[in-house]
Amino acid sequence: MNFRPYDWVSHQDSGGERTFVPEGVVLVEGLYTMRQALMSFYDMTIWVVADDEERMARINARPPAETGWLQAWFRGERAYMASEKPQERAMMAVSGPIVQ
């Protein structure tokens, strides 16, 4: 599987494609990982549910410098959720409370 890692510090592609050869159990996390184009790579999918209040609490716990991307993130997230419907595609859904 080939992928391009994203650099969350610089907010850009981290440069260059990487190849991953899975061995054993592999956990893949991230909002955009349940796109239809990727589903054939997975044996199981889990949707982690967190309500808006909990999600905002997590965001507000971050340093202010790490929240400048939020509006763009929310727009992209809404578009992804509407077009890909990952919550409907998941085999299982679990609650994702904040872990202290």
Domain boundaries, the chain: 29-95
Q: With pLDDT > 90 as the criterion, what percentage of the chain qualifies?
A: 25
The model's confidence at residue 69, banded by pLDDT at 50, 70 and 90, is confident
pLDDT higher than 70, residue 79? yes
Pairing of strands 18-19, 46-49: unpaired
Cα–Cα distances in Å, from 46 out to 20, 34, 66, 88, 95? 21, 9, 27, 10, 10
pLDDT higher than 80, residue 9? no
Whether pTM > 0.85 for this model: the answer is: no
